[in-house]
Amino acid sequence: MTWYRASILATVVALAVAPVAADTLVEKAPDLGPFWQPLNPNTGSYAYADCFVAPAAPDTVPDTLGTWLLDLTILGNPGTGTGTNSTTGASAPTGVPPTIRFEIWGDAAGPNAGDILATTGSLSPAPVLLDFISAPVLPGPTSLTPGSLYWFVATVVGETGNGSYQTGGHTQNSTYPDNCTFWFSNDPAGITFDGQNFTPEMAFSVNLTGPIPVELIGFEVE
């Protein structure tokens, strides 16, 4: 083995064993229990959104998205929360629990449906109580800019099922002093948000990870 090959190998080994920074978690817990409802692909609201400010680098790539859901389908009633946001009233339909997507959207004076930066794709959660449901994002998420505003979105637009979900409520500014608010869309396309700037916030979680070091991309050692 020549000297330069040994040097390259040593560099790669050093990179492989070097400490890796932990992921960054942006989480707004459901300190108020079940609250906003009904998230329903047929007769309720079609998209729920709440904002957050992207933390400092190096962890800027959305990795896992989650929120707290209560399946109103199996309860057959509005649940125990006090919040409602639909002109259909508080009565929750029974039926098949809907599939759902969690996404990160950009901001344009509100949630921007034309700027989807990360998505989990369709999920089939099975919450029993107010359970935390999370999933990894699909390949190809967009890196977030530290200090910029983004939106966590739970959407049932184009999804299947006819039941409803209730989400958790989070006390505004209790974890992050970002003055973020809860928005909802009764638009079947989930583009126009007729409900804006509500509190409490919706509880949600966004896990961010760092990009793969350039030195290791496509590098193979025999």
Q: Are 190 and 101 in contact (CB under 8 A)?
A: no
Write the CATH number for 175: 2.60.120
pLDDT digits (tens, 9 = 90+) for 121-169: 999 998 989 999 999 999 999 999 999 999 999 999 999 998 899 999 9
pLDDT digits (tens, 9 = 90+) for 80-112: 333 444 433 444 445 788 999 999 999 999 999
Looking at residue 208, its pLDDT comes to 98
Whether residue 5 lies inside any domain: the answer is: no
Whether residue 219 has pLDDT greater than 80? no
Looking at residue 93, its pLDDT comes to 44
Whether residue 154 lies inside any domain: the answer is: yes
Whether residue 9 lies inside any domain: the answer is: no
pLDDT digits (tens, 9 = 90+) for 164-191: 999 999 999 999 999 999 999 999 999 9
Looking at residue 89, its pLDDT comes to 40
Whether residue 59 lies inside any domain: the answer is: yes
Q: How many domains does the chain have?
A: 1
Note the Cα 194 to chain centre separation in Å. Answer: 20
Please state the pTM of the whole predicted model.
0.81
Identify the domain containing residue 138 by its residue range. 21-211
Whether residue 127 lies inside any domain: the answer is: yes
Whether residue 40 lies inside any domain: the answer is: yes
